[in-house]
Amino acid sequence: MIRLHGVSKIYPNRVAALVNVNLNVERGEFVFLVGPSGAGKTTFLRLLMRHILPTSGHIIVDGRNICRLRQWEVPYYRRRVGMVFQDFKLLPAKTVYENVAFALRVTETPPSEIRRRVPEVLRLVGLQDRAKAHPADLSGGEQQRVSIARAIVNRPDILLADELTGNLDPDTSWGIMDLMQEINRMGTTIIMATHNMSIVNRMKKRVVEIDCGRVVRDEDGGGYRGEA
């Protein structure tokens, strides 16, 4: 589903964020992206979002080289890729319902479809009773659930997560991870960048470790630190 061929990203300030990365991710996989801060995890996700272009190499998603997408095709590509952030990126003036519906509205989904899908996805993330609340009234875990709901309401094939438990306490983090596994079971491919050692160690998923822009380990069912 996702193939990276010799992908390098060198920023204009000559920082090499990724160097010759080759990676295949199959449909329905759950991949942890680990490594120290500044290793290139966020660059990796931003490349997949088509936020930035690689300096060299190809990124093939579903048979299409996303580096060759035309400007007008990029939004349609992004509708197939959900993204969740450590800082949630919710709109404070809008309610939970409106925040989720926003993603559908701005992609020109018919109103009847919006009214059907938003409650459905709020039920999935367990916030059906909080639809009218504003983000400021929610706990961190609840806010992250809203942002996950917003990321998946367009039914993307791929869900990218950048440190989504970074601001949450361990118990809350586990709730979020259960939700991520649930979404993964429904067929969504998940790539999740994280520093959370205990989550990686316990979930026994595929682990890709990046250090100084290079993939130094790619292991199925691995832990945060590898075999050692």
Partner 1 sequence: MRPSTLRYYIGESLAGIRRSTSLMSLGTIIASFLVLGMLGLVFINIYHISQFIESRVEIRAFLKDGLSASDIRGLQSRLSAVPGVKRVSFISRDEGLKRLKAQLQDKRFLLDVMEENPLPDAFDIELKDPRNVKSIAATISRMPGVDEVNYGQGFAETLFTTTRFILIVSMGLFAIIASLVVFIIGNAVRLSIFARRREIEIMKLVGATDWFVRWPFLLEGIMIGVAGAGLSCAVLVVLYQTCLDYVGSGMPFLPLVSDPFVIAATCLALLFAGAVMGATASWVFMKRHLRV
Per DSSP, the residues of 65-118 read EGGG--GGGHHHHHTTEEEEETT----TTS-HHHHHHHHHHTTT--HHHHHHHH
DSSP letter, residue 21: E
Nearer to partner 1, 11 or 76 (CB): 76
Element (H, E) at 177: helix 170-185
Candidates 25, 34, 48, 103; binder of partner 1 (CB under 8 A) is: 103
Stretch that binds partner 1, among 27-35, 71-79, 126-134, 183-191 (CB under 8 A): 71-79
Q: How many residues sit in the footprint of partner 1 (CB under 8 A)?
A: 23
Per CB under 8 A, 77 contacts partner 1: yes
Task: Write out 178-228 in H/E/C secondary structure.
Answer: HHHHHHHHCCCEEEEECCCHHHHHHHCCEEEEEECCEEEEEECCCCCCCCC
Determine the Cα–Cα distance for residues 26 and 104; give it in Å rounded to an integer.
27
Toward partner 1, which CB reaches closer, 101 or 208?
Answer: 101
Binding partner 1 (rule: CB under 8 A), the pick from 12, 13, 70, 110 is 110
Binding positions for partner 1, 132-161, rule CB under 8 A: 150-151, 154
Q: Does 46 bind partner 1 (CB under 8 A)?
A: no
Residue ranges in contact with partner 1 by CB under 8 A = 49, 71-72, 75-80, 83, 89, 91, 102-103, 105-108, 110-111, 150-151, 154
